[in-house]
Structure 1
Amino acid sequence: MMPLPTGVELDPLLTVLRTLSWQSADILLAYARSEQPPYGHCRALTVADGGEGPVTAADLAVNKQLLEGLANAFPAAPWNLISEETAKDQALDPQYQWRWILDPLDGTKDFLQGTGEYAVHLALVQQQRPVLGVVLIPERQELWLGLLLDGIGSAWCENRAGVKKPVEFSNRQELAELVLVASRNHRDQRLEQLLQQLEIGSCLTVGSVGCKVAAILRGDADVYVSLSGETAPKDWDMAAPEAVLRAAGGGFSHADGKALAYNSSSFLQAGCLIASHGHSHQLLCERAAKAMASIDPGFQI
């Protein structure tokens, strides 16, 4: 794995990411509480393509804060930036080996419902693989950071004061004792069948993908399964959570063991994707692949 892009040093980059992340937390917390957002953002924005007012305003405000903040801090860096909010109007430029992938608000329904289970995802990807991930969970005051540089992984959590705590995977290994973390909003019959066949011990319901992976990193859960339904997740759903989880030593792959690949023209992350604390990852993948062969024989895992 290559180091960071030419002219970019790790410590200054992390300093900027911390500042921008907590600014993003301030913005989202203000919108979530119907308060005036800071940093010059409007309380209500008119969005031509619809949306739920404050949610769309929050998306766009965080999007602007992060993209402009990175561009201003590193004006000469050899990377470009793509976001869920801009991807439909932005073609991938093949001249860039490095790209930031942003989801300014992952877990929109949970944001609306007031569960607190929403997150900001930001990942630095080299060609098709993530090397740095940021998962911010504003309501818990958690900033998860993961680095995969020069073949070495490290991950940790910080609070707003900069106090760090390590990843604490559970020691559960047998499938019957694992805790699955699952969505309350995105489930279909095939997923229910797959989960039954995996025979995992218990289930924890959580919103955003970032929040799900954080539950694994804290040891509250052990495995997350994404099975494409009517729509598949996108790069910005998976890149940052994957980077942090894998940097911590966990597993995140397709059920056939293949790595996720980013920066395709569709941005789709389709198939049967499994994220885990790593202890039982290979067994989970084997069981899932076998189960999907009977549940949906033509499904590309």
Structure 2
Amino acid sequence: MTKDYNLAIKAAIEAGQEILRIYELPNLETELKEDNTPITLADLASNEIINNSLKRTKFPIISEENEQLDYCLRKEWETVWIIDPLDGTKEFLKKNGEFTVNIALCSKGSPIFGVIYAPVSRELYYGITAKKKSYKTILDDSHKSKQDLFHDSDLIFPSNPAKDAISVVCSRSHMNQETSEFIKELRKKYPKVEIVSKGSSLKFCIVAEGGAHLYPRFAPTMEWDTAAGHAICTAVGLNVISLKSNKEMNYNKRNLENNHFLVHINGEIT
């Protein structure tokens, strides 16, 4: 699997570079998809790069920008790539830099590997659940790593909240009443509740590296929005729990839409 993981990381970086090239153009053309979400040339260019790379593996691909096959076919896929070529298109259009490339490999419904690349900050997050390790590597101006990947100096770890303080990461674009109510309930237990606002799958990464203690999501997401971040969080011992089933979220479902969920350290938040 290591060869496939390295291939996915390389694809994420190359896609990120192409996204960045388009991001820096003076005019960004946008269209609306059938679900009224925006799509840009960057989404499509990134998708092409990633698909061309991952087609060299033996695993099928589910991508936000690919035509989705019927579940009667997909259900036979034991192991599958799940990708979002440009997560945070709204952040991309706002030019705030908080967008990512997401690639995950899932087996029997569970994420086993994930890579998230933020091309503006050149932050590369990646994790392997079987090894229980996730990493953050800062690439240089040429989008190259100064040392080998999977180096122990790049390991990341979550953090536990204090008895009287907790940090919550929330969506920059999707704060809503349910999230506000959740935070209100937290304030009954923790006198100090810090709110960290961030776009795209970077919210998973912030919790995985200890920059926040939990991430509640009370807004619609699709499997490609969460699979890579789920893998990175699982690898460091976090739980990504469906608030409908109270179990770990699963993937390649009949309906590719997620339930609302909560990312947290086991035993800290119930």
SS at match of 2:231: helix
Matched, 1:259 2:259: no
> Is the 8 Å Cα contact of residues 9 and 115 (structure 2) preserved in structure 1?
no
Match of residue 47 from structure 2: 63
Match of residue 206 from structure 1: 198
Report the alpha carbon displacement of residue 222 of structure 1 after superposing the two structures with TM: 1.5
Structure 1's 107 and 45: CA in aligned 2 closer, same or farther, altered over 3 A?
closer
Please give the per-residue CA displacement for 1:229-248, whole angstroms capped at 9, x wherever unaligned. xxx21111111101001101
Amino acid corresponding to residue 128 of structure 1 in structure 2 = G
Matched, 1:19 2:4: no
Match of residue 117 from structure 1: 98
Gapped regions of structure 1 (runs ≥ 5): 1-8, 36-42, 287-301
Match of residue 282 from structure 1: 267
Structure 1's 67 and 172: CA in aligned 2 closer, same or farther, altered over 3 A?
same
Amino acid corresponding to residue 24 of structure 2 in structure 1 = R
Match of residue 155 from structure 1: 134
Report the alpha carbon displacement of residue 202 of structure 1 after superposing the two structures with TM: 0.8
Larger Rg: 1
Match of residue 64 from structure 2: 84
Structure 1's 245 and 104: CA in aligned 2 closer, same or farther, altered over 3 A?
same
Amino acid corresponding to residue 237 of structure 1 in structure 2 = D
SS at match of 1:145: strand
Structure 1's 69 and 106: CA in aligned 2 closer, same or farther, altered over 3 A?
same
SS at match of 1:221: coil
Report the alpha carbon displacement of residue 46 of structure 1 after superposing the two structures with TM: 8.9
Report the alpha carbon displacement of residue 283 of structure 1 after superposing the two structures with TM: 4.0
Structure 1's 46 and 121: CA in aligned 2 closer, same or farther, altered over 3 A?
closer
Structure 1's 86 and 193: CA in aligned 2 closer, same or farther, altered over 3 A?
same
**C-alpha distance in 2 between matches for 1:46 and 1:190:** 30
Please point out which of 115, 120, 141 is paired with 1:139: 120
Match of residue 235 from structure 2: 247
Please give the per-residue CA displacement for 1:201-254, whole angstroms capped at 9, x wherever unaligned. 11011111x2111212332212100114xxx21111111101001101222113
Q: What's the % identity of the aligned pairs? A: 24
Structure 1's 52 and 244: CA in aligned 2 closer, same or farther, altered over 3 A?
closer
**C-alpha distance in 2 between matches for 1:23 and 1:275:** 29
**C-alpha distance in 1 between matches for 2:136 and 2:23:** 23
Match of residue 293 from structure 1: none
TM-score between both structures, scaled by the size of structure 2: 0.84
> Is the 8 Å Cα contact of residues 242 and 249 (structure 2) preserved in structure 1?
yes
**C-alpha distance in 2 between matches for 1:65 and 1:47:** 20
TM-score between both structures, scaled by the size of structure 1: 0.76
Structure 1's 238 and 179: CA in aligned 2 closer, same or farther, altered over 3 A?
same
**C-alpha distance in 2 between matches for 1:68 and 1:20:** 9
Gapped regions of structure 2 (runs ≥ 5): none
Matched, 1:183 2:171: yes
Aligned-residue Cα RMSD (Å) equals 2.5
Q: Which moved more, 1:117-126 or 1:197-206?
A: 197-206
